[in-house]
Structures are given as structure tokens and as C-alpha cells.
Structure 1
């Protein structure tokens, strides 16, 4: 007879209880006391999770082994905890490619990336519970060596805003990392010197914010009087016995000896990556941990461990912000992303060569942590972790809730269009991602929607949605929901740390792609055509044009040259997206030089604009020649307009 899952759980619990009671019965024939029964129940409860998760090893083995081979990832470590116990922990693959060192879940330390933000939130919550930090206070109340700019008078950045990604700082990852842990600058000094623009009033929309969380860590440092890494060691890692976890940079020798290296696939091999260290340790820069230490933390977090402080763990799990009251939102740093009708708290982390995912289902006391030491093909390792978590949850906590019913008569006017994620940088080169990866919404008959660019799954493509309320839609073949606020913003349960904003027609990436394409093609032709034209005139013995006419054509040729080199260089860098990510966060000289090419093109295009006017007023060349030159100038303006819009223009030698 095949047992249903509830029956298997019941049998497992009864069996565990019987095993626990057997020694008591054998020891004495006297009636069992209430204390005896309580002890037996406790033993049964401790043993039940392991029985409930039978087969977990086979599932994880199959999924992770397939991922490593298919996606060219060197190694991984996984830990699963349930009911206050570790029910599974295992390492896969290798931690060091040349040495072929096997991964061990209990001893191999991996960079955690932004998963470490949970430690920062825990530290801040401890001080909040001790009334040393006020979540509603202006952060400038605590800052002494620098202040956050008052961009929105009467709307200060509050402590709580830092912990919910709602402070409103611009996103700017360029140059935040260093390759050498001995060269990491001081946290406070770096925050003061690299304060980003405030691009929206705080507390309005969530936008994933590294600077804000780093600032929260600095407040811990200021208020406690201890260096941030030392505070977390003394008040989080130490009390929980997480001896293989540290925020200290460089790492202590015993931890460094067991640290995995991170890689990206190149050709048939793997290249070790840099860029995991940096001043922003509260965001995860430099933080390392073993998988089993992360399991220890999840047990403490879901179990409201008093060693973290009374009420501290629970405060992280409570909702502190949502962009739409109908959708889940943010705890302190933890993202509410329900799965199978169950509340699920999530956090992931990514640094070059390392990708970690952590998920907790508090009501089931189930926690899953998976980390990889490779980017994988096209950076797929981050999604691989989410996919593993989904498969585990789907297997052991299946969805039993009824499907939401479609609602008719919902007004969908004004929803169709292109949407841009608000994590798009306003000031840095990373804004170029928005040129290629904008979300789109189309309205289908009957009030349903079709979208692209919203799913975190790189293989998802188009998604279909049906209405379940005013401005609220359910995914047809999935669990996600999206909501529209009537103000041009779109929210999704797949990621409560960002919003998508509808674009006006003139901000459409499609329009910009056309402008860019036309500009590049014409300037490439100019690069080849003007030298050919000059040689033809020379061979035919035609009179030499005036000096300024020649200068105008040389400027057009130089603009074509600069554009050709820029596009070719950018295409070469973009051919390996994993390497490009490393280049951006390290802030390489090569990237600065690349952007400077367009800065020079601005100067040569200015000469072209002047030359166009002079060509018509002074009648340089033939009419066809003047028209061709005018078209080239318009193409240069079109190209540079797009380059300026997406922060692709740098100051030469700047």
C-alpha cells in the first residue's frame, strides 16, 4: 500500500515516539509519569524531521550533479534544516580547480555575497531591541563624520528604510570591489566618499540598495563603538558557534586555508575570478561561511534563538514594508516570496565566481541554503540555486491551496507598454542593461496579460496572466502574481525588492535601439567611405578642398573610427558576461578608457555640426556630398544621444 504524505508523516511520528518510549518501558514496569511522556514527545519531535525528509539526499544529488555538469560549475554545497535540526548537508565537486580539492559542506568556506545582509539586519535589530537605534529616526541623527544629503526636504532617510531597500539611493556597483583584501578601505570613509544620489523619496518604492545596507552596518559600528565585523562576531557568530564564518578582511588564517576559489567558464577550462572583497562588508563583501554554519544560523533564526536577543529573529521575519498591500513585501532585509501557499523568506547573494541562495519556511521550520563557486554558463548559477530550492519545497511542501479564480470585467487600459526596473542606475554605465532587458506588457482579449522580461528564470520567456482583482493578476502556469498601482508602477511577487515603471514612448528601448543601430551603421560607413573618397579624388587629380572642409571630413572620419572601436571593444567585453561583471565592480582602467572613446566622439561630433552648417552656407562639395555629410552628422547625434542616455560617455583621461 502506498501511503499519502500526511499518512507517512503520521506513521513516522508514531514510530519515533514508540522508539523513544521503548527504553523507558524496558527499564521499569511502573506507570509512565508526565515528565516521561514529555521527554518522549521531545525525542519524537526531534527525530520526525529526518523521517519526513527521507530521500532528500537523492533529490539534491540528482539536481546539483546535473547542474554542475550542464552549466560548467566547479562545486557546490547544500544544507537543509528542519524542525531545529540539520537533516542534510553535502558538498559537491571541487573548491579549487588546479588542486582538485573536494568540497565539504562542514569545512569548505564560500563567499556568501549578499546573503550576509541578513547578519547586518540581525545586528541592527539587536540594537533596535535595546533602544540604541530608532527605526523611525533620521540616519543623520547617528552620523558624525558625514551626513546624508537633504535631497528631499522633510523626507529624511530613516533607519528602517535602510533595512527594507526603500532609502531611495541610486544603484551604482562600478568600482565597489577590490581584488586584494589587504587594500579594503574603511567602511565609514568609503561611504562618505561614495555617497550616491538620492533618486526618489524614501519609503515610497523598494529598490535593491547596497549602499543603504552598508550604511545600516556603519550605524551598528557607530552606535556600538565596535568595528562592524567585530560586533557581528561577538554578538551573532560567537554566540551561535559559527566558527567558520567571518566578515573580517583579510580572512583569519584557519578560515582562509579552507576557502573555495570562484570561477567562470572560459573555453574548455575555468578562470579564477577576483572582486569578492570591498569596504561594504555589511552588504556581503568579503564575507565567507560554510554551508553548515549557514544551517546553524537558519535554525537560530527560525527558532527565535534567545542567543540572538529577545525578539530579534522574529523582527527580521515580520513585514515592515510592501509596495502593494495585496502582495508580500519586505521584512528587514528578508524578502517575502511565498511558495506553494506557504510563507517563504528568501535572500540570495552574488559576487564574481560565487552565488548563494537561502530560503526559510518559518511555519514549517524548513531552511535551505545552497552555494556555488562558479558563475556557470551565462551566469546561470544564481538561478540554479533558486531552482534547487523550488524543487525541494515542491517535493516536501506541495501546494494544496485552490487556484485563484479569474475575475471578469477588469479594466486593463493603460497597462500595456514597456517597463523598466527601478534598480537601473541613473549615473553609471550599468544603465546600458536597460537598453537590452526591458520588460513588456501586452493586453490580450478577455483581460488577460502577456509579459516578457519579468521572470527570474532565464528559460521562462513569455508569461501569461489572468485577472484576479483590479490591477492584480495571477500567472497561468506558475505561482507568481503581479500588481499595478495605477501610477505607472508594476510589482511582482518574484522579487519584492524592485518595482517596474512604465516608460514614455520617447524612453522606449526599441526607439533607442533603432537610433543606435542607424547611427552605428552610418558612422561605420563613414569610417570606410571618407578615406576611399579622398583616394579617389587624389587619383583623379581633382582640386583639394579648402582646409576647413578637409577638417570637417576628418572629424567625420574620426567619429566613425571612435564609434567602430567602441562598438568592437564593447562587443568583445560583452562576449563574456561573467568577466564583464567582474570588470564593472572592480572599476577597471579598460572600462574607463572605453567610455572615453565616446567622450572624444562628442568633441569630433561638435566639429561635424559646425562643419555641416559651414558646408551649406559656404557651398562645400556637391549637393549630394553636403547631404551625405548632413546624414552622417545626424547619425552621430543619434548615436551619442543614446550613449548619453545610457551613461556610455566618459571624460577622456578623467
Structure 2
């Protein structure tokens, strides 16, 4: 790992796409415990594009100039009014407005969905199999997956983040384009250890996603960037999209700059680059992402350009790995959103100075994408959730049930300290794992109290044995217990991993208090905020502050057609 990456490791946490784990009490993520009202499923709250635009404008009005200087937004509604728009500034120093169909933004780990789509194309064509040892596709490559006594690692494991790789998180963020390496070289040099049997536990892996992209390239005898350009971007007319690093000078559109907070405004940030391209280097406009969303909402084709056959789309959106029946699980490349029965799937993304969230409902034919060119405050997830709520797609909070018989004993059983599988537990990034530890203790009447490294406490009530809902109704914890001992804790709001019990002698937290912890929030939510302030040393662009003024359009710069 480069020295720049070490200095910016907290920023790399954001690039992993796991920008917050959700056990902090200020989270408002919905769960799937409360089901949507079936009578409302056929309703469309917006009769025209103008109504939809006015609603989104209102959502963005308070964010532009506060959470971000600019945004790229797409709301896709099959058979109804849709919206593609840019808000605010693409570059505050140059005074360039963000436009939904012209301004490419870094979409971070949302780009992994293109990688997984490319894998499914190979499966559809008989070139790849989800259940074949990935080493079978690497005969002519310097990259290999180390053999162990466990079963081999497959593409199904990679697409559900269950390969069992040691977590490294860093997708090879560098400040100098001269430090970019060929994907094959990087994967061979940065190969992680295998620390768990494949298929056993979720542990989010940028390396695994990049490896899948390399397998696609090897199977088709080309580069990953070249493959997705011809087989995904061109059929869907995604003309402003690329995984190339740096973005080529002749690439359509003027890419948005990343920004950092500068007092009450924003300044343009030093540019950074992502080495593990299939895991997070994609740049795209909102209109391009909207085309990709339409392909996945429908039968794999948009306006005659097909990327997947209908049955392959269905197979990709089937459930491929279950962490626990009570929490969000994994489709192929997409994770469930809101809850296991909410009917929503999606992915989040973040680079050093960009953040994004994509969620879609195939049942309703609705997709929402929001992309910011700063990571200075509230994430795009808040806007996405407000739009989803307008379509009545987010489950409502449920009332806490009465105490269950035996609840006190079960609360004693699950009490302890837990650490996540999606963070390194050794090496220079181990501090991130420490920040993400969570303490669990009984809170009386069978309830639980969780305390994060920042001292943020939250209470939970049992809904069924070893399954607990937050008292505000908006999250679920599900414990796996074997012969009276906890083997794992799963959070509905964090599909990117599970939490494992910490042995007593390794515990970092004391019940009800924190030892040496100064984190403000839970784990990565802190890490992302700190990391986005890390300075990179290659190219500094001095930027002017943006005044963040408001308008009736909420800072919208373009008026896209329904499309």
C-alpha cells in the first residue's frame, strides 16, 4: 500500500462503499419488519415531471451549499414521469454548473454493479460460471487465489462478499497518476490472505470486486475497461461513463471536481485516483446511471440495446447469500435495502470527495440515484430515502412488542463486545476496526443497549428469540446462537458484514463507557468524515467558495426530459 494510501486510509474506508454501519442512534434507516401498505403499491405520487422535479428541488434546496456544492440526480419511474438533473456546482473554482446529462461524477462503489453485470454477461454466454473456482480463469494471469483446506473461491462468493478474504478496504487510492498500476499487477501484489471459509460470512471486499473484473477481462481476452465500454456502456448509450484512470482528456463532458469544506463554503480538492478500477473508479452522469437502472428495472435492455437477457436479470436479482432471515441479505452484487422483505436493492459508493447512493424497486419500477461531489456532512442516502418515502417504498417503523418470556436470559447470552468482519483486524488499518467495536449489554425486561466507540447508546427490544428491533423501529439486530454461545451479530442497516464476538482479553469497550475512544459516531461514519479532509499532494487546485444561494429550483441547472 502506498504512503499516500496510508495517510489517507480513513478516506479509503469511504471508498469501500460502507460509509456508515448504522448502530448509532442518529441513524434513520428503515427496516423490513413493518411491511408496506399493499393498497398503495400501485400508486404514483407524481402525475407529471414538473411535480416530481418540484419535489426533488425542495429536497435539494437545503443540501446544495451545505452538504455538497453540487449533485447529480436521477429518478427513474417505469411508465411514469422521470427526472435527470444536476444541482449546484460541478467545480466551484471554475464556476461550472452540474448538469445531469453532461457532468460525469465519481460514483464510487456503485460502479461495482457494472462489474457484477459484466460477470453475469459471462455466465449468460457460457464463458463464466458462478460456482467455478476462479483460479480456473486465471491460468494466463499472474493473479491467483491462494489455496487452503477450504472450498475454492468462486464468482458467487466474490459477488456476495463471502470469499473469506482478510479485509484491506483500500482500493489503491493514489494522488499521483504515475502511481497507477495495471490491474493484474496490483491484484498480484496486494493479494489478501484467506481468513474464513468461503460462503460462511459476509466481509466487504474491494479486492474481491476488482478480482471479479479481472476474471471478466481474462475470460474475454481484453482489458476490464475495454470490455465494459463495448459490452455495457455502448449498448446502453452510456456515452459519458468510464472506468479509466485518469479520465481521458477527450472523454465527453467535463468531470465534476471533488470538494472539501472550507469554512462555510467549499473549495476544490486535489484529484485522487483509484487503482482497483472495477471496485470504484467509475465516472458517470446521472443520465448514464438512469440508463443502467432502466436495464435492471426491466428485462435487461433499453431502447434496443441489450446487456442481459430477461432470465439473467432475474437470476442476478435472486437472493444469493443469506446472513440471517431477519436482516438485509445479498442478491448478486446488489444488497437488499430497508429490510429483507422491503423489495428494495441497491448500493452505496464513496471516493475521497464524492458520495453516492443507488436504490431500486423492481416490483414498482422505480430507481433513485443521488451523487454528491463532496463528503462534508449528510450523505446522499437522506435524499434517496425521502424520495423513496414519497413513493411509499420505505417500510414504516413498527411499535415495540411486549417483553418475551425468557428475554432476560437471552439478553445475558448476547451481552458482550463485537467487531465487524468488513474492517481490518491487524496491520496499519487496525484502528478502523477498533473504532467500529460495539458493546452490547442487557437493559432490563429483555431489552438490549448498544454502545459504540463514540459513546453513542441505543436501545433494542426483542421481537423473537435473539432478534431485536431498535426502540425507534428503524433497525434490527439478529444474533446467531449455537449451543448457548453467540457466533455472530447481524445489523439490518449494515449488509456489508457481520459482527463477531470479541474475546474478553481483546475487548476495547467497557459496559456503558468507552476506553480510549474518541470517535464521534459509529465506525466508518466517523472515518469517512475525517478521511475526506486528508490532503493529497499531487495537484492542488485553489478553489473559490460557493455562496450556496437558493432558488425555486433548489439549485437545479438543467431540465431533462422524462426519458
TM-based fold match above 0.5? yes
Aligned counterpart, 2:475: 480
User: What is the aligned counterpart of 2:92 among 89, 97, 101?
Assistant: 97
Q: 1:582 to 1:345 in 2, by over 3 A?
A: farther
> Following superposition of structure 1 onto structure 2, how do residues 179-198 of structure 1 map, counting pairs within 5 Å?
179-181=175-177, 183-198=179-194
Classify the secondary structure of the residue corresponding to 1:199. Answer: coil
User: What is the aligned counterpart of 2:531 among 578, 582, 594?
Assistant: 578
Classify the secondary structure of the residue corresponding to 1:58. Answer: helix
Q: Conserved in 2, the CA contact under 8 Å of 1:359 and 1:369?
A: yes
Q: 1:431 to 1:395 in 2, by over 3 A?
A: same
TM-score normalised per structure 2 = 0.77
Q: Distance in 1 between matches of 2:369 and 2:195?
A: 34
Q: 1:425 to 1:55 in 2, by over 3 A?
A: same
Confirm or deny that 1:76 pairs with 2:37. no
Q: 1:147 to 1:101 in 2, by over 3 A?
A: closer
Note the alpha carbon deviations across 1:609-632, whole angstroms, 9 max, x for none: xxxxxxxxxxxxxxxxxxxxxxxx
Q: Conserved in 2, the CA contact under 8 Å of 1:355 and 1:371?
A: yes
Q: Conserved in 2, the CA contact under 8 Å of 1:78 and 1:370?
A: yes
Q: Conserved in 2, the CA contact under 8 Å of 1:182 and 1:250?
A: no
Q: Conserved in 1, the CA contact under 8 Å of 2:167 and 2:421?
A: no
Classify the secondary structure of the residue corresponding to 1:496. Answer: coil
1:426 positional shift: 3.2
Confirm or deny that 1:250 pairs with 2:246. yes
Confirm or deny that 1:420 pairs with 2:416. no
1:235 positional shift: 1.0
Aligned counterpart, 2:283: 288
Q: Distance in 1 between matches of 2:535 and 2:317?
A: 32
Aligned CA RMSD, in angstroms, stands at 3.2
Q: Higher Cα Rg: structure 1 or 2?
A: 1
Q: Distance in 1 between matches of 2:172 and 2:528?
A: 23
1:258 positional shift: 1.3
Note the alpha carbon deviations across 1:308-328, whole angstroms, 9 max, x for none: 121332232211001113433
Q: Distance in 2 between matches of 1:163 and 1:8?
A: 33
Q: Distance in 1 between matches of 2:39 and 2:118?
A: 42
Q: Conserved in 2, the CA contact under 8 Å of 1:448 and 1:466?
A: yes
User: What is the aligned counterpart of 1:215 among 208, 211, 215?
Assistant: 211
Note the alpha carbon deviations across 1:163-189, whole angstroms, 9 max, x for none: 110111122245812234465211111
1:6 positional shift: 10
Q: Conserved in 2, the CA contact under 8 Å of 1:172 and 1:428?
A: no
Aligned counterpart, 2:159: 163
Paired residues, number: 478
Confirm or deny that 1:123 pairs with 2:76. no
Aligned counterpart, 2:323: 323
> Following superposition of structure 1 onto structure 2, how do residues 28-47 of structure 1 map, counting pairs within 5 Å?
none
Larger RCO: 1 or 2 (CA < 8 Å, sep 6+): 2
1:387 positional shift: 1.0
Q: 1:65 to 1:578 in 2, by over 3 A?
A: farther
1:223 positional shift: 0.3
Q: 1:9 to 1:152 in 2, by over 3 A?
A: closer
TM-score normalised per structure 1 = 0.67
> Following superposition of structure 1 onto structure 2, how do residues 65-464 of structure 1 map, counting pairs within 5 Å?
65-71=61-67, 73-83=68-78, 87-144=82-139, 145-150=141-146, 152-174=148-170, 176-181=172-177, 183-255=179-251, 257-274=253-270, 276-285=272-281, 287-306=282-301, 307-310=306-309, 311-338=311-338, 342-376=342-376, 380-381=377-378, 384-397=379-392, 403=398, 405-406=401-402, 408-409=404-405, 410=407, 411-453=410-452, 461-464=456-459
Which has more helix, going by share of residues? 1
Note the alpha carbon deviations across 1:270-327, whole angstroms, 9 max, x for none: 3433464233111122x10001111111111110224012133223221100111343
1:509 positional shift: 1.4
Aligned counterpart, 2:497: 498
The more displaced of 422-431 and 352-361 is 422-431
The more displaced of 385-394 and 81-90 is 81-90
Q: Conserved in 1, the CA contact under 8 Å of 2:108 and 2:356?
A: yes
Q: Conserved in 1, the CA contact under 8 Å of 2:388 and 2:394?
A: no
Q: Distance in 2 between matches of 1:452 and 1:272?
A: 36
Q: Conserved in 2, the CA contact under 8 Å of 1:177 and 1:275?
A: no
Aligned counterpart, 2:16: none
Classify the secondary structure of the residue corresponding to 1:412. Answer: helix
Classify the secondary structure of the residue corresponding to 1:264. Answer: strand
Classify the secondary structure of the residue corresponding to 2:374. Answer: coil
Classify the secondary structure of the residue corresponding to 2:429. Answer: helix
Note the alpha carbon deviations across 1:9-61, whole angstroms, 9 max, x for none: 99x9xxxxxxxxxxxxxxxxxxxxxxxxxxxxxxxxxxx78517774333322
Which has more strand, going by share of residues? 2
Q: 1:133 to 1:149 in 2, by over 3 A?
A: closer
Q: 1:265 to 1:465 in 2, by over 3 A?
A: same
* Structure 1 unmatched runs, 5+: 13-47, 518-573, 587-654
> Following superposition of structure 1 onto structure 2, how do residues 569-648 of structure 1 map, counting pairs within 5 Å?
577-579=530-532
Q: Distance in 1 between matches of 2:369 and 2:344?
A: 13
1:158 positional shift: 1.3
Q: Conserved in 1, the CA contact under 8 Å of 2:71 and 2:87?
A: yes
Note the alpha carbon deviations across 1:395-429, whole angstroms, 9 max, x for none: 22166779475561132232112211112213432
Q: Conserved in 1, the CA contact under 8 Å of 2:385 and 2:394?
A: no
Q: Distance in 2 between matches of 1:330 and 1:293?
A: 24
Q: Conserved in 1, the CA contact under 8 Å of 2:467 and 2:478?
A: yes
Q: Distance in 1 between matches of 2:476 and 2:48?
A: 30
Aligned counterpart, 1:552: none
Q: 1:362 to 1:246 in 2, by over 3 A?
A: same
Q: Distance in 2 between matches of 1:350 and 1:401?
A: 27
Q: 1:8 to 1:435 in 2, by over 3 A?
A: closer
Classify the secondary structure of the residue corresponding to 2:388. Answer: helix
Note the alpha carbon deviations across 1:235-278, whole angstroms, 9 max, x for none: 11111111111112332334365100001113455343346423
Aligned counterpart, 1:508: 507
Q: 1:582 to 1:152 in 2, by over 3 A?
A: farther
Q: Conserved in 2, the CA contact under 8 Å of 1:122 and 1:312?
A: no
Q: Conserved in 2, the CA contact under 8 Å of 1:473 and 1:483?
A: yes
1:516 positional shift: 6.7
* Structure 2 unmatched runs, 5+: 1-36, 518-526, 539-563
Aligned counterpart, 1:29: none
